[in-house]
């Protein structure tokens, strides 16, 4: 069921750092064509950090760990979004499947990959418990020996509630040179992290100790290089518009992102691209350490 690219297989066998990258960002996070460019830039950033990138998706009845550039080009808006529950059905039905954070980590667990980079994590949706919508990402993180570099949780979520659930699940949130969890587009105003880290080696050592003590996933929250502190009103508008248009479940994130990119004059699009690539480089540095 799983096809692993030779360079990734060799790196895993040799104990070198490998960083998993999802494909939902490629298929649904950016305008057509832009997602592939961001995916390739992320792979280059992982290599610049000293590790091997492993972009993961489902094609032609196989989970592919290490997509080629041509294969990456097949991931467009028609691709299914794959959480952990969706992998088997997509495999059997031969569909193109773009992995979310949770879906990617499920593959990491099967292959031994211990590092991942993404934009933002899923979590508790605003308005919980009506609807009772909590991303599968958090449970999978708690069950997987993996370190995930992100810019906090997705900005459209209930960040304080997600932070509390991360604590409940025993998931450390390490702040990359910050004392608070990044708010995706904004570097400021989030809840306190469980510990601050200053170097890739320090983050790697904490993750290793956490796993030796029986823990699961570790999150490293890296603030965006350029903080957009005026996006919250747009997010509220986008969520209200999505609700009015009957957009729910997995369709909310791409809808809201598209709205933000349009209404911000492209500022959120540029910030999204930069933070994703920056997170990939940091994940590469930690994996190499």
DSSP symbol at 85: G
Residue 249 clears pLDDT 80, i.e. is over it: no
Tokens coding 201: 């080696």
How far is residue 42 from each of residues 22, 143, 211, 215, 263, measured CA to CA in Å?
Answer: 10, 25, 26, 28, 26
Going by pLDDT thresholds of 50, 70 and 90, the confidence category of residue 286 is: very high
Tell me how far apart the alpha carbons of residues 171 and 189 are, in angstroms, rounded to a whole number.
Answer: 20
Tokens 């950090």 locate to 49
Packing angle between helix 267-288 and helix 34-48, nearest 10 degrees? 30
43, 81, 154, 285: the catalytic one is 154
C-alpha atoms less than 13 angstroms from C-alpha of 282 in its C-beta half-sphere:
31
- The length of the chain, given as a count of residues: 289
The predicted pLDDT at position 163 comes to 95
What pLDDT, in 10s, does the model give residues 27-49?
998 888 899 999 999 999 999 99
How far is residue 16 from each of residues 58, 183, 195, 208, measured CA to CA in Å?
Answer: 24, 31, 26, 14
Helix or strand run (H / E) with residue 283 = helix 267-288
Given a contact cutoff of 8 angstroms between Cβ atoms, the answer to whether 195 and 207 are in contact is no
Handedness of CA 168, 172, 178, 184 (dihedral sign): negative
Given a contact cutoff of 8 angstroms between Cβ atoms, the answer to whether 82 and 97 are in contact is yes
pTM, to two decimals: 0.94
Strongest mean pLDDT among 55-69, 183-197, 256-270 = 55-69
The predicted pLDDT at position 230 comes to 86
Going by pLDDT thresholds of 50, 70 and 90, the confidence category of residue 145 is: very high
Name which of 55, 112, 81, 116 is nearest 250 in CA terms.
81
22, 43, 81, 285: the catalytic one is 22
154 is catalytic: yes
Averaged pLDDT, 45-54: 98
């Amino acid at each position: 069921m799983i096809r692993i690219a030779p360079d990734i297989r060799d790196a895993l066998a040799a104990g070198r750092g490998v960083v998993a990258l999802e494909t939902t960002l490629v298929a649904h996070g950016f305008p057509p064509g832009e997602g592939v460019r961001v995916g390739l830039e992320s792979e280059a950033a992982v290599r610049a950090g000293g590790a091997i990138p492993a972009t993961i998706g489902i094609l032609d009845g196989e989970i592919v760990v290490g997509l080629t550039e041509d294969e990456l080009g097949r991931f467009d808006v028609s691709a299914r979004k794959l959480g952990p529950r969706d992998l088997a059905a997509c495999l059997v039905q031969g569909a193109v499947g773009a992995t979310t954070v949770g879906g990617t980590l499920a593959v990491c667990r099967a292959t031994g990959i211990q590092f991942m980079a993404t934009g933002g994590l899923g979590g508790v949706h605003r308005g919980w418990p009506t609807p009772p919508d909590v991303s599968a990402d958090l449970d999978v993180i708690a069950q997987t020996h993996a370190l995930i570099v992100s810019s906090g949780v997705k900005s459209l979520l209930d960040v304080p509630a997600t932070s509390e659930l991360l604590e409940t699940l025993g998931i450390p949130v390490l702040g990359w040179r910050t004392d608070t969890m990044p708010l995706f587009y904004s570097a400021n105003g989030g809840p306190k992290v469980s510990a601050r880290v200053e170097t890739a080696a320090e983050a790697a050592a904490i993750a290793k100790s956490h796993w030796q003590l029986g823990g699961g996933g570790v999150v490293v929250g890296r603030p965006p290089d350029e903080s957009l502190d005026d996006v919250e009103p747009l997010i509220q508008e986008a969520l209200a518009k999505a609700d009015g248009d009957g957009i729910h479940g997995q369709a909310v994130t791409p809808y809201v992102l598209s709205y933000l990119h349009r209404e911000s004059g492209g500022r959120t699009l540029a910030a999204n691209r930069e933070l994703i690539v920056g997170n990939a480089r940091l994940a590469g540095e930690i994996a190499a350490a």
